[in-house]
C-alpha cells in the first residue's frame, strides 16, 4: 500500500473546499494590512554635512482584492505609504515622502511546481504631494516560486523601476520548514526565521528591507539650499532588524508587533550625486494589523 | 483531551483520561470510537455520523461531503449514478462498501481515519468512490472519485483513468491567494507522485 502523507499545506489545497467556497460565493476575498512603525532619533551624514537627531514614522495601508479567475488569483487594490521625518526646516532632506498607488497583479500556476506573480503598482511617489512631485511612476515585479515540496520552496524574482539607479533589480530567497515548528522564510524583502509557538502565535527574528523612489517638488532644491535637487528623484532605503510576534486573533485578523534596530538608512539623490547615509542608528517599534478573508 | 480532536460530545464523555496513545485505555477508547462510527456508517451512511462538536461548533461529515460535491456540479452529475447508491453524503445506499481504517500522518500528527470504497461497472466504464468519512484530526473528510475507460493504444489494451480529489479541512479556510494556489500545486504534485508510484509498481 502506498503510504499517504497529509501535510497542512497539502490539506490546505484545493479548489474544492466547502468552508471557503460558500464564503467566497458571497464576497470577493481580500487581504489587508495596516502598519505603523516608529524609529527613534538618529542621524545621517554626507561628508562633513550632518543631519542630526530626527525620528521617523512609517505608515502603510494596503487593501487588495484577490478574486479567483481561470488564470489564477487576481490582485486588485491600492496601497498608501507615508514616511514622516522629524527634520528641521533647514535640513536638505524631505520631511515627508508619500506614495499612493494601485495594485494590479495576478498569481498564476505555470505548472504543478511553479507559481508566478506579475504585479505592478502604478501611482504617485512624491514629496508630500507637492507641486511637481506628483509624477506618475509604474514599478513592477515578476516573481516565481518553485515548489520542491510542501516544506521547501525557492523564490526568484526581478523588480523593475525606471526611476531607480539600477532599474532592474533581482531578488529571491528560500522558504524551508526544516522542523515541524521552525520555518526559515528567507525571502526578500522580509527574511525571517519563524517559530510557531502554537497554531495562533508565531515568533520570529528577521529583517525588513525597504527601498522606494520618490520625486521631489519643483522647488525642493532651492528651498533647501541645493538647487540641483529641484524635481530630483530620491531613492530612500532602510533596513530594520529585529524580532516580533504575530498573533492570529481571529481567522481574519492578526496582530503583529515587532521591535529592533535600524542599522542602515540612505537618502540617495543618485542623479545629482548627493547621498546621505546613516551616521548612528536607532531602535524602532512596529505594530500592524493584517489578515485576509 | 485536546480540543483539536474531532469527536462528538458523547464520544468525548467516554474518555477516562490518561495516555491518548493507541495502547491501554487510549486504545480501548479509540477502538470504541472507530467501531461505533463504522457501525453508524454501515447502517445509515454519513448522515448517521455524529458531528465533530466536543470542543466547538458542530461539523457534520455528511454536510462536508455534500458541500464538496455541491462546489463541483459537473463532477457530481457525472458520478450521480454511483453516488446515489452509496452512503456518501446521505443514508446507507444500495451499494455495498468496502470499509477500512487507516492511521495517517496529517501535519505531523497521527490521525485515525475510517474509509469506505465503492465501485460500479456500467458497460465497461468503471466508476469508483473512496471517502474518508471520519478523521480524528487534520481534516474533516476526503472524497476521491475515479472513472476508468478501456482504451486501445497501439493495438494494446489500456485503461484511461480520470481522478478527482476533494478535501475539506479547517486549515483550508486560513489560506488565501497565492497560499491557496501553492497548496493546490503541492496537492497535485503529491497525487502525481502517488500515481507515478502506482504505475511503476503495477508495471511489474
In this prediction the pTM is: 0.80
pLDDT < 50 regions, chain A = 1-25
Angle A60-A62-A63 from CA coordinates, rounded to 5°: 160
Task: Name the 3-class secondary structure at A280.
Answer: coil
Ramachandran bin of A273, using left for φ above 0, alpha for ψ from -120 to 50, beta for the remaining angles: left
Report how far residue A15's alpha carbon sits from residue B166's, in angstroms, rounded to the nearest whole number.
8
pLDDT recorded at residue B86:
95
- Structural element, H or E, at residue B190: helix B177-203
In chain B, residues with a C-beta closer than 8 Å to the C-beta of A19 are 67, 168-170, 172-173
- In the structure, what pLDDT confidence band is assigned to residue B2 with cuts at 50, 70 and 90? confident
Q: Count of alpha carbons within 13 Å of A252, Cβ hemisphere only? A: 7
A22 contacts: CB under 8 Å, gap ≥ 6: B67
Candidates A108, A180, A293; nearest CB to B108: A180
Which residues of chain A are within 8 Å of residue B185 when distances are taken between CB atoms? 109, 111-115, 147
pLDDT at A1: 35
Residue A255 contacts residue A24 (beta carbons within 8 Å): no
> Can you tell me the mean pLDDT for B44-50?
94
Q: In B, residues 121-140, which contact A (CB 8 Å cutoff)?
A: 138-139
Cross-chain residue pair A147–B185, CB shorter than 8 Å: yes
Please report which residue ranges of chain A form alpha helices under DSSP H.
8-11, 18-24, 220-223
Beta bridge partners of B100: B115
pLDDT in tens, B92-126: 889 999 999 999 888 778 899 999 999 999 877 89
Residue for grid cell 448517521: B48
| Residue B189 in contact with partner chain A when CB distance is under 8 A | yes
Mean pLDDT score of chain A: 89
CB pairs under 8 A between A and B: 150
Higher-pLDDT residue of B179, A5: B179
DSSP characters over B109-131: EEEEEEEEEEEEEETTEEEEEEE
Q: Cis link prior to B158 (omega < 30° from 0)?
A: no
User: Given this model, what pLDDT does residue A9 score?
Assistant: 37
- The residue ranges of DSSP E strands in chain A, in sequence order, are 5-6, 30-46, 49-65, 68-69, 72-85, 96-109, 114-120, 123-126, 136-137, 140-149, 152-160, 168-179, 182-187, 192-198, 201-215, 233-250, 253-269, 274-278, 282-292
pLDDT at A18: 34
**ipTM (interface pTM):** 0.70
pLDDT (mean) for B60-88: 93
**Secondary structure letter of residue A190 according to DSSP:** S
Cα of A20 to nearest chain B Cα, Å: 5
Amino acid at each position: 500500500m502506498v503510504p499517504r502523507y497529509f501535510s497542512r499545506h497539502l490539506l490546505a489545497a484545493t479548489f474544492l473546499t466547502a468552508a471557503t467556497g460558500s464564503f467566497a460565493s458571497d464576497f470577493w476575498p481580500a487581504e489587508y494590512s495596516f502598519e505603523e512603525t516608529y524609529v527613534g532619533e538618529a542621524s545621517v551624514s554626507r561628508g562633513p554635512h550632518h543631519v542630526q537627531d530626527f525620528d521617523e514614522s512609517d505608515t502603510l495601508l494596503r487593501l487588495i482584492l484577490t478574486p479567483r479567475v481561470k488564470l489564477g488569483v487576481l490582485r486588485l487594490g491600492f496601497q498608501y505609504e507615508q514616511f514622516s521625518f522629524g527634520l528641521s526646516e533647514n535640513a536638505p532632506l524631505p520631511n515627508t515622502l508619500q506614495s499612493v498607488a494601485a495594485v494590479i497583479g495576478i498569481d498564476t500556476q505555470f505548472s504543478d511546481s511553479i507559481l508566478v506573480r506579475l504585479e505592478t503598482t502604478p501611482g504617485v511617489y512624491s514629496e508630500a504631494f507637492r507641486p511637481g512631485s506628483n509624477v506618475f511612476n509604474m514599478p513592477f515585479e515578476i516573481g516565481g516560486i518553485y515548489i520542491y515540496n510542501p516544506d521547501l520552496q525557492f523564490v526568484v524574482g526581478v523588480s523593475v523601476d525606471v526611476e531607480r539607479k539600477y532599474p532592474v533589480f533581482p531578488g529571491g530567497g528560500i522558504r524551508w520548514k526544516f522542523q515541524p515548528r521552525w520555518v526559515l522564510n528567507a525571502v526578500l524583502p522580509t527574511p525571517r526565521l519563524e517559530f510557531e509557538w502554537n497554531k495562533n502565535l508565531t515568533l520570529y527574528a528577521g529583517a525588513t528591507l525597504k527601498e522606494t523612489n520618490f520625486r521631489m517638488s519643483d522647488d525642493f532644491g532651492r528651498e533647501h539650499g541645493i538647487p540641483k535637487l529641484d524635481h530630483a528623484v530620491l531613492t530612500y532605503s532602510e533596513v530594520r532588524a529585529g524580532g516580533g510576534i504575530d498573533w492570529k486573533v481571529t481567522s481574519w485578523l492578526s496582530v503583529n508587533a515587532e521591535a529592533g534596530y535600524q542599522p542602515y538608512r540612505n537618502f540617495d539623490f543618485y542623479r545629482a550625486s548627493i547621498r546621505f547615509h546613516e551616521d548612528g542608528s536607532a531602535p524602532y517599534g512596529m505594530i500592524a494589523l493584517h489578515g485576509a478573508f | 483531551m485536546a480540543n483539536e480532536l474531532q469527536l462528538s460530545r458523547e464520544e468525548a464523555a467516554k474518555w477516562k483520561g490518561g495516555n491518548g496513545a493507541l495502547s491501554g485505555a487510549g486504545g480501548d477508547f479509540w477502538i470504541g470510537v472507530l467501531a461505533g462510527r463504522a457501525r453508524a456508517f454501515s447502517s445509515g451512511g454519513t448522515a448517521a455520523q455524529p458531528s465533530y462538536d466536543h470542543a466547538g461548533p458542530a461539523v457534520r461529515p455528511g454536510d462536508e461531503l455534500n458541500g464538496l460535491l455541491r462546489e463541483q456540479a459537473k463532477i457530481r452529475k457525472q458520478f450521480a449514478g454511483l453516488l446515489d447508491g452509496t452512503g456518501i453524503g446521505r443514508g446507507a445506499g444500495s451499494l455495498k462498501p468496502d470499509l477500512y481504517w487507516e492511521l495517517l500522518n496529517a501535519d505531523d500528527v497521527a490521525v485515525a481515519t475510517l474509509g469506505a470504497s465503492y465501485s460500479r461497472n456500467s458497460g465497461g466504464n468503471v466508476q469508483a468512490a473512496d471517502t474518508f468519512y471520519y478523521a480524528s484530526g487534520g481534516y474533516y473528510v476526503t472524497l476521491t472519485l475515479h472513472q476508468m475507460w478501456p482504451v486501445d493504444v497501439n493495438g494494446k489494451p489500456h485503461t484511461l483513468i480520470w481522478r478527482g480529489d476533494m478535501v475539506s479541512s479547517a486549515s483550508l479556510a486560513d489560506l488565501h491567494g497565492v497560499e491557496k494556489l501553492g497548496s493546490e500545486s503541492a496537492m497535485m504534485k503529491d497525487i502525481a507522485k502517488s500515481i507515478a508510484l502506482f504505475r511503476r509498481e503495477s508495471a511489474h
